[in-house]
Amino acid sequence: MDYRTLGIHHITAITSDPQKNLDFYEGFLGQRLIKKTVNFDDPSAYHLYYADAIGTPGTVLTFFYWAGIPKREKGSGEVGSIYYSISEDSIQYWRDRIVSFNVPFSEEVLPFGEKVLKVSDPDGLEIGLVATNVKNSIQPWEDGPVPKDHVLNGFYGALLHLPGHEDINDILENGLGYEKIATTNEITRYQALSWPGRYIATKITPKLPPARQGAGSVHHIAFQASDDTMLQALQFQVGAVGYQTTPLIDRFYFHASYFMTPANILFELSTNDIGFIIDESVAELGEHLQLPPKFEPYRNQIEASIIPLSLPRYKNNSY
Ligand code: ZN
């Protein structure tokens, strides 16, 4: 194992309501909608990207919208929770903000000691805000609804619920270059090279039923490769531990390759070297519907078929 991923690149989940989704992630959590596009495999459906001001890898949460999709059934074999970092000095700010938005929440302590505020998005996806002073290089969104000192500092990590013996330890350590750094009876924490998005934790949940994907599920989780050369090296390492990756796919904002893990969680490898400013200026990120060149001839039909979205009104504490 010679190559180590830098950490989580993006996480993609599923929503049944893009307006509620936008109001929650941008209006409440203060993540910037940096890209409004369509699913490259299904152009009738939105693909929304939320991140810091510029889409730094490790801050990017994206959603596929599928109308009428049934709700997820929680279980084993899925990403159970997503965690963002907040400053230790921001916990009171976020407690107050959560209460003022009437969002149900709980305060917990992670197995390795960090305080976390847990909320669920409108589709039931669990989001934790972890109080931590790790140093994240992100670009705060200065025009957003959350003051710069309190913004989410990108992903802290993600928790994978695994059925047990199909553990993906080998993929994480030998395929992707994660380092196992801590373990309890049921939870193991792995770290990649850098923040944001450095941690992956696994939890063995043999008593849970198999998860069924739906609204509120994570669809896949993507790991950073700095460029195509590193992506190919990670493909090779993943192949050497027994998993076949797809050929490199052009996702316009990055190059990608996918493989299914034995726990039925889809992993992706994604490159960092293209980014989200390829088709919009930093000032205009997220404002216009962006289509990849192959769909541009069909813009009129696509725009007519998707429901319009309005940006949240930041002064109004509701969504
Ligand atoms: Zn992806």
Q: What are the pLDDT digits (tens) for 162-187?
A: 998 666 999 999 999 999 999 998 89
pLDDT score of 58 more than 60: yes
Edge-to-edge order in the sheet of strand 289-290: 249-250, 255-260, 266-271, 218-225, 8-15, 60-65, 42-51, 32-39, 289-290
CA of 64 to the centre of ligand 1 (A): 10
Predicted confidence (pLDDT) per residue in 201-212, tens digit: 999 998 999 999
CA of 185 to the centre of ligand 1 (A): 31
Predicted confidence (pLDDT) per residue in 103-121, tens digit: 999 999 999 999 999 999 9
**Which element (helix H / strand E) includes 70?**
none
Burial class (CB in 10 A: 0-12, 13-18, 19+), 252: middle
CA of 60 to the centre of ligand 1 (A): 10
Q: What's the whole-model pTM score?
A: 0.96
pLDDT score of 132 more than 80: yes
The whole-number pLDDT of residue 76 equals 95
Burial class (CB in 10 A: 0-12, 13-18, 19+), 66: middle
The whole-number pLDDT of residue 244 equals 96
CA of 13 to the centre of ligand 1 (A): 9
The pLDDT confidence band at residue 310, using thresholds 50, 70 and 90, is confident
Q: Pick 45 or 312 by higher pLDDT.
A: 45
CA of 107 to the centre of ligand 1 (A): 30
Mean pLDDT of the chain, nearest integer: 94
pLDDT score of 242 more than 80: yes
Rg for the chain (alpha carbons), in Å? 19
CA of 217 to the centre of ligand 1 (A): 14
CA of 270 to the centre of ligand 1 (A): 8
Instruction: Tell me which residue has tokens 């950490």.
Output: 7
pLDDT score of 231 more than 80: yes
